[in-house]
Each structure stands twice: as C-alpha cells, then as structure tokens.
Structure 1
Amino acid sequence: MLTVAHLVQPTNGGAARVVADLVRAQRLAGMRPVVLCPTGGTLAREAGAAGARVGLWLAERGPTGNLPWEVYCAGRALRRAAPDVVHLHGTKAGLAGRLALRGRLPTVFQPHAWSFESAGGVGAPLARRWERRAAAWTHGVLCASDQQRVAGERAGLTAPMSVVRTGVDPERLPAGDQVARRQSRAALAAVHGLPQRAPLVVCVGRLTPARGRDVLLRAWPRVRARVPEARLVVVGDGPERAALRRAAGPEVLFTGHTEDAAPWFVAADLVVSPTRAGGAGLAPLEAMAVGRPAVVTDVGGAGELLPPGQAAHCLVPPGEPAALARAIEALLVDAELRAALGRAARHHMRAAGSAERAAGECLAVYTALGCLPAKRARQRRGVG
C-alpha cells in the first residue's frame, strides 16, 4: 500500500478543503495518506474523518522568523510518517518541506498558486529565484492548469511539471434543486435578513487584494442599475474586510468566515470569483458541483476549469469592473440561461471535476516517479 505524506499549510480555506477531498479519494483508492499540518482550522478533523492518519507540523501560515524551526519540525514529522512519496501543498509547505528533505525522498510540490505571482514588490523575484533553486529538490510539480504550468516554465522552473486539475468531492455537496434552494434561502434569510426572492450573487473566499473583491464592489452599482432588486453576499474574512465594507452599499452583506459555504452556493443564483492573481480558488468549483454557474476572471487558468462552451458567458478579464458587471447582469436577467449553465456545470463536475479523478492522476505521477512501495523498499536496501 502506497504511503503518501501530505505536508500542508494553511489548514483553512480552499487549499485545505482540496487536500481533505484528495486524501478521502486516495483512501478509497487503496492508498495510505498521512496529513501533517498545524493544529487549528478544519483540515486535521476533515482529513481524519476521511481516513487519513494525521500528524502535527508546527508552522505559521505566513512568512515569519521561525522558518528554521518550521523546517526542523517538517523533517521530524516526515521521518515519523515514513512515506513512499511526499506531497507538499502551498508556498509554506513547499519551502519548509524541500529545505528539510533536499530531494532525499520522492517529492511532489503542488503550489495551488505560484508564490511569485501572489507576491508583490521585491518578493516576486525572490520567490522566482527560490523556485528555480528548489527545482533540484523537486521530483514533480502538480499544476492546476496548463496556464499555471506555462507560467512556471516562463519563470525558469526546470522540475518536471504535470497538470492535475483541482477536484472536489461531489458527495459532500448537495444538488441545488429548487426545493433545496428555497429551503436554504429561508434558513439564511432568517439569520441574515435577506429577501427570499431577490436575485442573489455570492462571492466566497479570503478578503485579500489578490482576490479582487474591490473590483466586484466597483462593478456592483452597474449591476444594480440593471437589476435593482439584486443582492450581493461576500462570504469570508481577511485583512481587507473593513475597507471593503466601507466601500460597499447597504445592499451588500458581509457574513465573515464560515466553515461551510455550501448553503450559500445552494441559495445563490450566481457565484462570482473576481480574482486578480493566482487562480479562481475552490469556490467556483464547489458552486458548479452544486449546480450554479460561476463567473471567473481569466487568471491562473481559471477558464480551463469551466465546462465546455461556458467561457463566453462566465469568463471575464481581471480587474475590469465593466466587463464583470456585464457578465453578472446578463446571467441575472436570463433565468433559463442560468439554469442551463448550472445543469451543465454540475454534470461537468461529476464527470471531469471529481477528487476521484484527481487522485488517479496524482497516483500516475507518483508511479512515474518510482514511488511504489516495492521499488522504494528495494532502493532502501540498495537494490534497484
């Protein structure tokens, strides 16, 4: 049985949810996943419930002066896990894990978003230089899209790169039929005071500059001019919350952080992800799995995640409020088009966007790297 050690930070949000879905699918496929992560957040609990063994890795979410300690703790946790392959998720795990291992075990890095695209100022060239150096300790890189792979190649990364598109577990997400929509609307209206019949646009994720919520707020008055009864809900928390709240009108609801955004996807007419950099995140995929169309910006290969034919309605340039407003308006005023796109999105996610598919593609990468237990055992004995 193949043992896969996942080193992960952060433990909340989209990346953590992606890992939880992936290890559930790996467990069902006969692998032995081990998740090494800090305490707090939802990941340890969800990974344990999915059948993974969970171990502690002491690490902060952002850059700190504790990196040497985080590297030491990563090395210790990985030695205890005794894996056949190490799968690093995100910038911090990619940094600490590769410094700890330095190529001594088969190492796969999944950036989720390139650090050199998310960093600003002097941070971007420093991140590119690190990624080039770390390529010597990286046996494989898993990119979420062809666009992300090309960005890595243009940055000068020489590690072998494969495209494994993000998958979600459709079984944990309800089908958003009309009955479910009415029930979810009623429950959320009782808590948040939303009109039950108003056209509802939902945006889920961290409130940071890269996520482009300010672009959505600049687009929103144009939407309201065309659809005056429309309401916008911003789900999530982050450093920009206060500034965004000051810029928003009274018809915009800020809910703060939630552990489960599925009720909002079910209640929504439309989900929007106006990201500036990185990728669209997990929210559009979860929304589509529920059966809601998702408007995304053309960054990080987000358009590759849409069902065939939906880019004409759902893909807009980043940082352009007018284009974003036009896409939202067009879908809010056309209920039949929304319903058709939602049905196609749910079918697409079940057929091609599942975590089971992602787990199979990861296994193919592990196998190509020679990570099967029998071969690893021979290598440890100095054979093969």
Structure 2
Amino acid sequence: MTILHVSQPVDGGVARVVTDLVRGQRAAGHRVVLACPSTGRLSREAMAAGAELLDWPARRSPGPSVLTEAAALRRLVRKAGPDVVHLHSAKAGLAGRLAVRGRVPTVFQPHAWSFAAATGVLADASTRWERYATRWATSVLCVSEQERADGLMARINADYTVIPNGVDLAHYTLAERAERRAARLSLGLDLNEPLAVCVGRLCRQKGQDLLLAAWPAVARRVPGARLALVGGGPDAPVLAAQARALPEPYRVRLAGDVPDPRPWLAAADLVVLPSRWEGMALAPLEAMATGRPVLLTDVPGAREQLPPGDHQVGLIPANDPAALTNALAAALADPLECARRGAAARVWVCERHDISTVIARVSKLYRDSIESIESDHVTSRVPARS
C-alpha cells in the first residue's frame, strides 16, 4: 500500500504514535508518506523512520486559514496518490476530510475528541462538525472504548474501530535498580529522594497547573520529595512562573522538551499525569513499560490502560486537587509498593499494548477500508434489477 498520514500536531504523544506507525509500516514494505508542517519533531523522526515528507504548513488550531490549508492538502493528496489516508487529531481531521471528501479510503483518528477540549458555543460547533464530517471517513479509529462511547453519546454515527495505543517494547525496556541509579546520576538527582515525574506537553489538557498547586502539600507530607515536569508546550512560561513561586523546600524541576524521556522514566518512583481529557495518553504506557507505576485522572483511556488491580490506587477523579494530593503523597511515601506496582504494570503492558500488535491491527483496518470503498464502487456500477 501507499499510506498517507496527515498530522497536525507535530509534537507530544500524537507525534510518537505517527512515528511508530511509520516505522512499522515501512518495515512491512509499504510506501509511507507524511503530510505535516516541516518544523517540529515529527517531520525529523518520521523521515528517519522511512517516511517521505510533504510539507503541509498548517496551524495547530482551526481558524480562517483552514480552507487554504485544505486546498494545499488536496494538492498533496494528488501528489502522493495514496491507497489510504490516515488523519491524526482534530486539525488534520478537519482539513483532511474537507480535502479528500471520501474520494480515497480515509481513517480519522481523533486522539481525543475536539469537543472535549472546548466549552459553550465552540463545543457545540465542534460536535456538529464531527457529526457532519463522519460521512467522509471510512472508519473512525478510537484508542479506547470510552472514546468511542463518547462519540456515540455525542451522536457521531460512524464505522468505529477501537485499537488501544501501543509501546515499542524493545525501546521502552524494564529499568531496574542499576538503570534507576545511572539515570539519577546522569540527571543530577539525589539517589534516594522520592521522585514523581510528569511527562507530557505543557498545556491545559495535561493538568500540570493542578499538579503544581498540589505539590507543596505533598512535599510537606513526604519530606525530601521532588517533582519533575518533562515536556515543552504553550504553557511553559506560565508553569515556570508557577514553579518559581513555590517555596524553596518544595522546588520543582522543569526539564523542558527532551529528545528522549526514558532517563526520566527510569529515575522516577512514580509517573503522574493529571489530565483534564484524553483519548488514551501514551506517556503512561511508556512509563509502565519501563516498570514505573502511574497515577492518572479517570479520563477516557486511563481506566482501560491500567491493570485492573491498580484502579483503586492508580486512578483519581479529574480536577480534584485533594484527591491528587492524597494519592501522590501516599504513593511517594511507600517506595516498595511503587516498585511492586511498577513490575505488575510492565507485565500488563507487554501483554496488552505491544506496538507490533497495534501496527498489525491498523494494517487490517486499512485493508478493510479499501475493500469497503471498492465494494461500494462495484455496487454503484451494477444496474438495478427491474
């Protein structure tokens, strides 16, 4: 097949998902083309994985430029000549469906519904658009059952397929005591202080502001505890100011947008992500693959990606600072329990979230989408019997 991925955003978990798909699809012998802005991490990493890059200078947020972006994308689709188009996230889904309009088998992957991030008039408009545009998607690929349920609840009637996110288990390997020690030394961290790490784009969705607000109370209850925020994003200046305003004993380290989060995952006792909404976040799966327990808010995908025995301590309500404080403090005060949970999490991810399984299931979805379109074309050419 010739597969055309279209993506905006070009960072965070979406970029890692697209890069993993590119790598696996190229290994399977497919021609893989990526249309995305040439700036950012995605273009570099996807090209290194074997993708052909088509520069699509689209903005991340919707706006007046979307019609121009859709026209530019239409030209790129003609240039690529794909057998199937895979649209990633809301912006690519908007411009891509306007550009292709069902003329090529099209898979739309929301990576969390756009209306979950909006309120009021904008949320209503986003929902109405998704209901209308679903006619131009051969399939909607959700990464969790809850994401599909939210789509159905919003009356988005589509041909849904659920394929949970996966992790490259050869890349995210179990980090044992020696790896933890080496990571802490390389990062300039104390070898024994309890460490919570949050890996994610610095933005309202990921909830780092809630984490910083809760941290002083956690640090008072767990003396010596440290917190690190790993990632870049639009809220970096605001979060840096919020961190600087904390009293000195409760200091927080902002590591920035690192090329490889694995040393931070290896160094952590606990990985926390207090998201306000998700489809299924990738960072917790990567953390669990390295043998680290996670603390997540109960948003779409979180409950499904945790081992069932971990729900009671690994899940908290969204937007609940008291619950976040209590769960963080309890986990960091018990390093042996963290180690036990991390070992169980590694086994769970290996069994349920291997990227090779995801790539195989996505390839089957492409084939089914192509066959569905071809079948419809054949049916439309057969004269009706009188």
**TM-score scaled by structure 1?**
0.92
> Given that residues 22 and 356 in structure 1 are in contact (C-alpha distance below 8 angstroms), is that contact kept between their aligned partners in structure 2?
no
**Alignment length, in residue pairs?**
375
Q: Give the corresponding residue for 1:363.
A: 363
**Which stretch shifts more, 283-292 or 204-213?**
204-213
Name 1:351's counterpart in structure 2: 351
Q: Which amino acid aligns with 1:287?
A: A
Shift of 1:211: 1.6
Over residues 42-93 of structure 1, what are the superposed CA-to-partner deviations in whole Å (9 max), with x where a residue is unaligned?
2122222222332222211222322122101111111111111111001111
Q: Is this contact kept in 2: 1:175–1:291, CA < 8 A?
A: yes
Which has the higher mean CA deviation after the structures are superposed, 7-16 or 57-66?
Answer: 57-66
Tell me the residue number matched to 1:233: 228
| 1:161-180 pair list within 5 angstroms | 161-180=160-179
Question: Aligned residue for 1:185?
Answer: 184
Q: Which amino acid aligns with 2:82?
A: P
Q: Distance in 1 between matches of 2:307 and 2:357?
A: 16
Q: Structure 1's 242 and 54: CA in aligned 2 closer, same or farther, altered over 3 A? A: closer
- Confirm or deny: 8 A CA contact 1:103 1:138 kept in the other structure: yes
In the TM superposition, residue 125 of structure 1 has moved relative to its aligned partner by 0.5
Indicate if the aligned counterparts of 1:366 and 1:372 stay in contact, CA closer than 8 A: no
Cα distance, 1:47–1:149 mapped onto 2, change above 3 Å: same
Q: Which amino acid aligns with 1:330?
A: A
What is the aligned-residue identity percentage? 47
Match of 1:62 in 2: 61
Indicate conservation of the 8 Å contact 1:233/1:255, yes or no: yes
Report the CA distance between 1:301 and its aligned residue.
Answer: 2.3
CA contact (8 A) 1:273 1:296 kept: yes
Asked whether the 8 Å contact 1:36–1:56 carries over to 2, the reply is yes
> 1:361 offset after TM fit, Å?
1.5
**Is the Cα contact below 8 Å between 1:22 and 1:167 reproduced in 2?**
no
In the aligned structure 1, how far is the partner of 2:344 from the partner of 2:50?
31
The equivalent residue for 2:335 is 335
Q: Where does 1:150-299 land on structure 2 (aligned, <5 Å)?
A: 150-189=149-188, 194-248=189-243, 249=246, 250=248, 251-279=251-279, 281-299=281-299
Q: Distance in 1 between matches of 2:347 and 2:286?
A: 12
Q: Distance in 1 between matches of 2:60 and 2:67?
A: 14
**Aligned match of 1:22:** 21
1:280 and 1:245 map into 2 onto residues whose CA distance is: 26
1:122 match: 121
- Cα offset, 1:272, TM superposition: 0.3
Q: 1:43 to 1:244 in 2, by over 3 A?
A: closer
Amino acid at match of 1:201: A
Mind listing any 5+ residue stretches in structure 2 that lack a counterpart? none
Residues 54 and 238 (structure 1), Cα distance of their counterparts in 2 relative to 1, 3 Å cut: closer
Deviations 1:301-343 (A, max 9, x none): 2110112311112111101112112222222222222112111
The answer (yes or no) to whether the contact 1:291–1:346 under 8 Å persists in 2 is yes
1: CA distance between counterparts of 2:121 and 2:185?
Answer: 48
Structure 1 position 295, deviation (Å): 0.7
Distance 2:152 2:171 in 1: 35
Note the alpha carbon deviations across 1:247-267, whole angstroms, 9 max, x for none.
332311122222222211111
Q: Separation in 2 of the partners of 1:163 and 1:318?
A: 23
Q: Is the 1:84–1:372 Cα contact (8 Å) retained in structure 2? A: no
In structure 1, distance between residues paired with 2:86 and 2:371: 12
Structure 1: distance between partners of 2:265 and 2:67: 41
Render the CA deviation track for 1:192-214: whole Å, top value 9, x for unaligned. Answer: xx333211101121222222112
Q: Is the 8 A contact 1:204 1:235 kept in 2?
A: yes
Alpha-carbon distance, 1:280 to partner: 5.5
- Deviating more after overlay: 270-279 vs 233-242: 233-242
1:265 touches 1:290 (CA, 8 Å); kept in 2?
Answer: yes
Amino acid at match of 1:88: L
Q: What's the CA shift for 1:3?
A: 1.9
How far apart, CA to CA, are the structure 1 residues paired with 2:186 and 2:57?
38
Contiguous gaps of at least 5 residues in structure 1: none
Partner residue in 2 for 1:52: 51
TM value normalised by structure 2: 0.91
- Quick one: which amino acid aligns to residue 352 of structure 1? R
Name the CA shift for 1:206/1:29 in 2 (closer, same or farther; >3 Å).
same
Secondary structure of the residue aligned to 1:54 is strand
Distance 1:208 1:254 in 2: 14
- Aligned partners of 2:89, 2:262: CA distance in 1, in Å? 24
Shift of 1:371: 4.3
**What is residue 131 of structure 1 aligned with on the other side?**
130
